[in-house]
Every structure is written in structure tokens, then in C-alpha cells.
Amino acid sequence: MREKLVERVRGMMAQAGFAVSEPLSHRPISFDFLARRDENFYILKVLTNIDSLSEEVAREMRILARFLNGRPLLVGMKASSAPLEAGAVYVRHGIPILSVEGLKDYLIEGAPPMAFAAPGGFCVKLDGEKLHAIRQDENLSLGQLADVAGVSRRTISMYEDGMSATVEAALRLEEFLERPLIRPIDPFARTEDDEEPAEPNEIEDVSDPYTRSIFDLLSEMGFGIVPTGRSPFHGIGLVDPAEYDPSDPNEALLLTAASKSRSVEDRAALLRSVSTICERTALFITGDDKEGPHGTAFVKKEKLDRFDEVEGLVELARERGESGDEDE
């Protein structure tokens, strides 16, 4: 069922004008596919029940979004046993969530969600400046609007300062004032969670010895290494970690380590699809002398010591990625 749901969501994104990657089939995975439309790049996970999103998966989605200049998004059908509301945004572990129908309304119909799930019910964002201006123009007191909305005068003042309101209170105010006050919600807008980004693991936390040895070599060369544990690549290599600009596609490589080239052949097509959508070069580093899959950047581990600087390996990776040739 989940595989069909993934394909349905991919189809919706494509219908909305997004280029989409091939779906991921290996386990475990932090995302199901990637989607891009112009500068809008999304890392998507699709789950029947959004409560099954683990903190580990959400953390890696946020790390990928941070270093690849994207936005994570979970699309689901229900929370526990209750179906998701189409017009609402949900959040789990810092990941914004839309229902399948909500995503369709937003991307295809152009109807953004108007509410977000909060403890105790749904809330909306009010146009606080407009509310204040109307109250002043109509010579209404805080107490009068408080009586209408069923809240305190302090709460009305906080609405005017930008605090969210319950759906019920907002509708009472709109009905009384005969003016629209509820503002649509951008589910992809930067949130407070972005001010406290998830931190990646250290190289020593990588469990596979071969991958860890590759990362050590690249780190000594000058790369900043962002290990990943649930992605089709094993890490992100930052060309200039001190001045890294995630909006620049030339600033990072997608790194995959494999002791034997044949072990990456099945993964190569998927990596080409993923690297195309996220606009980053994918680099395979292997331990044998066989040719890499066509159309991939393929470098042997034993040849890494020929590169004294990061830029040399990056240039080679881009050349190999375009030509599909192996390292000589």
C-alpha cells in the first residue's frame, strides 16, 4: 500500500511541474524521493500513518535539507486512527506534514492550507495588523472583541501582535467584523526549528570500516564530511566547510563508498537520478580496479593520495560524472 501511495504522491508532484527522482527501494531510508521545480527543492517522505515517523529519520531529513538547500516534507494519510485534514499542516519532529489531498490542493489547485494542528485542536494565523487597524477604525475596545471571540483582552492584544488563534475564535472575529482575518499557511516556510538545525554525526560514528576509512582520507584532504545513515549515498562532502554555501551546487559532492564496484551498479542509476534533482555530483569511491557504472563519477581509493587539494578531486568527479569514464 505504501509503495502505491509513494507513486501517487510522485505523480502529483510531477503533475504540478516538479522534476522527481526515482523512488528509493532500499531500507532503511530517510526519504522516498526528491522533487525540484526551479529553486524549490523538496525532500519527501510518504507514510500512511504520520506517527510512524521516527526521530532518527526526521533528523536525517533535516540534515539533508540543511546541507542540500532543500525543505523536508512528510505526506501522510492519518495520525493514529484519525484521517488528516486536507486544509491543515501538521508537524512531527520538526518536519512539516500535509495530507495527500492537502498536497494536491496546495500544489495543483493553488489552495494553501489555512490551519495547523496544535495541542488541543487546530489553530490559524491571523493578520494581526489588520485586526488592530479594524479595531481602531471601528472604535472597538479590546474587551468588546474579547467578548465576541470568547477570550481575554490580553489574548486579543496578543492576536494583534501575531499570536495564533483557535479556529473557533478566529471565525467569530471574522463573522463579527465582516472582514477576512485568517492568513493562508505556507507549509514550506522557514520555522523556528531552522534556527536550531540538526547536527550530523561524526566520522567515528560511521559503523562501516571501509566507509569510515574513505571519510578519514577525504577529511585529511580538506573536505568537510556529513555522514548519512539512511540515504542512497553515504555522506555529503563539503568542498569548503568553513565557508559552505548550501545554495551553491558546486560546494558539495554526494559520497558513496564501496569496496567492490559491482556492489554500486544497482545503486548507480538511482544515484544519478538523485544527484540530478538535488543538483550535486555523485562520487563513488571503490577498492577494486573494475570500471564504474556508465555516467557515474568513479574513483579508486588507492588513487586518492594523488590529490593534494579538494579542488582536484572535485574537478575529476565532475568530469567523470559527465563522461562516465573510470579513473586512470
**What region does 260 belong to: left with phi over 0, alpha with psi -120 to 50, or beta?**
beta
The H or E element containing residue 172 is: helix 167-177
Cβ neighbourhood burial of 114 (10 Å; 0-12, 13-18, 19+): middle
Q: What three-state secondary structure class fits 265?
A: helix
pLDDT, tens digit (0-9, with 9 covering 90-100), for 227-238: 998 999 999 999
pLDDT, tens digit (0-9, with 9 covering 90-100), for 55-102: 999 999 999 999 999 999 999 999 987 999 999 999 999 999 999 999
pLDDT-derived band at 165 (thresholds 50, 70, 90) equals: very high
Counting runs of H as helices and runs of E as strands, what totals does the chain give? 10, 16
Distance CA 17, CA 212 (A): 39
Count of beta carbons in the 10 Å neighbourhood of residue 77: 17
pTM of the model: 0.88
Distance CA 270, CA 283 (A): 13
Distance CA 193, CA 61 (A): 13
Mean pLDDT of 104-125: 92
Q: Which of 196, 187, 193 is nearest to 75 (CA)?
A: 187
Question: What does pLDDT average to over the chain?
Answer: 89
pLDDT at 260 over 90: no
- Structural domains of the chain sorted by starting position, each given as residue range(s) with its CATH number in brackets: 2-114+187-195 (3.40.1350), 122-183 (1.10.260.40), 203-323 (3.40.1350)
Distance CA 121, CA 167 (A): 8
Joined together, the cell numbers standing for residue 65 give: 535539507
Angle between helices 128-137 and 167-177 (to 10 degrees): 40
